[in-house]
Amino acid sequence: MKKLIVYDLDGTLAPSKSSLDAEMASLIGNLCRIVHVAVISGGNWPQFEIQVLSKLSENSNLKNLALLPTCGTKFFSYEVGWKELYSEDFSPSQKVKILASFRRALEEADYKPIQLWGEMIEDRGSQITFSALGQLAPLEEKKKWDPDYAKRKKITAKLVELIPEFSVRMGGATSIDVTKNGIDKAYGIRKLQDILKISINEMIYLGDALFPGGNDYPVKQAGVDSIEVRDPTETKRVTQAIIDCLK
């Protein structure tokens, strides 16, 4: 019997940078009433507040919900309110090196955006994220930019060469996330195991980027039973099946 259901956010629970719809919010709320639930995503805490928390009903059992922004480099749990348990932030010198490496990798990949919607490279404290079309790009533009990951694979390969001491992963529809080496979604899984006292074999993970190089892949490498979903519609079907089994 599984005791913890872990989700990716963008592309899994909701379209990139979008909020949970009413059906998904209801499913997650129902799941929280019967089992522990966690969400690990590349987004920062404010995105979690907008995309997830603002859509959950007041009677959701939030004490059963753990939220891990920036690919598990931060951890929030709920008691009376939400509390940050840790944040694996970069040092100033590490940030300088990562930002310089992004600039060089983009130059060598000959990436010159025609239009940007918001910041292209965002410092999230414990993670630095490249969003090819900007943080606020329309979903339809993001979907058609790199559907086969080919453009990001080229940039990622150069980043891995330039900053091998850091973890570089693709996530979302247009993003590349950089975290401290070894501090990725697998790190978040281990923190969930330690804090919630739930073993790896008592977890299930649902994500859309479980392929090598995807930011969900470290979870699979950590040994968690993982289900690759195509989109939120498939996530809903799987979640309902989990609820039915747990009941």
Q: Can you say whether the dihedral through the CA atoms of 217, 220, 226, 227 is positive or negative?
A: positive
Q: What phi and psi values does residue 126 have, to the nearest 5 degrees?
A: -100, 0
Rounded to whole angstroms, how far apart are CA atoms 232 and 238? 10
Residue ranges at the known binding site for Mg(2+): 8, 10, 208
Residue ranges at the known binding site: 8, 10, 124, 175, 177, 208
Share in percent of the chain as helix, strand, coil (round to 5): 40, 20, 35
Distances (CA, A) of 116 to 19, 89, 121, 192: 22, 27, 11, 36
Residue ranges at the known binding site for alpha-D-mannose 1-phosphate: 124, 175, 177
Count other Cβ atoms within 10 Å, centred on residue 190: 14
Active site residue 244: no
Q: Which of 10, 146, 184, 216 is catalytic?
A: 10
Which residues are registered as beta bridge partners of 170?
176, 214
Rounded to whole angstroms, how far apart are CA atoms 134 and 41? 18
Active site residues: 8, 10
